[in-house]
Amino acid sequence: MRVAVAYTRVSAGEQARGDLSLEAQAAAIRHFASDEGIDLVETFAEDRPGLSRALARARNLHCPVIVWTLDRLSREAPYVSNLTSQGVQVVVAEKGPDTDLVGG
């Protein structure tokens, strides 16, 4: 079975509820991972230190980071581009398994 780490984040108070809540994102990522035969090793949440820990864990395990939507990772294209150029694989669960961003 493949492994991955998950990362969830809310950026505003109104996102803390509904479809973008941390719980909703985590549940959607778990469902996606289960459907794709991916074992989620750990879920990191909420803040930039959490993102740093998620990225470090993914690098250690040589596995992808799964986010529900790309904007949960970052709204800055250069940041995402930099991650992928460093070899970090990012899977955007909302878009399906064939839309991962692979660096290198």
* Domain assignment of residue 45, yes or no: yes
Residues of the chain with pLDDT > 90, as a percent, come to 43
Domain that holds residue 86: 2-99
Tell me, what CATH number does 77's domain have?
A: 3.40.50.1390
* Domain assignment of residue 62, yes or no: yes
Tally of structural domains, the chain: 1
* Domain assignment of residue 77, yes or no: yes
pTM of the model: 0.83
- Residue 88: what pLDDT? 83
* Domain assignment of residue 10, yes or no: yes
Q: Which two tokens stand for residue 25?
A: 């994102």
- Residue 104: what pLDDT? 37
Helix (H) or strand (E) holding 48: helix 48-61
Q: Consecutive sets of 10 residues in the chain, 104 residues long: mean pLDDT of each?
A: 90 65 92 95 85 91 91 78 82 78 46
- Residue 99: what pLDDT? 62
* Domain assignment of residue 104, yes or no: no
* Domain assignment of residue 72, yes or no: yes
Please name every residue paired with 101 in a beta bridge, in sequence order, or none if there are none.
90
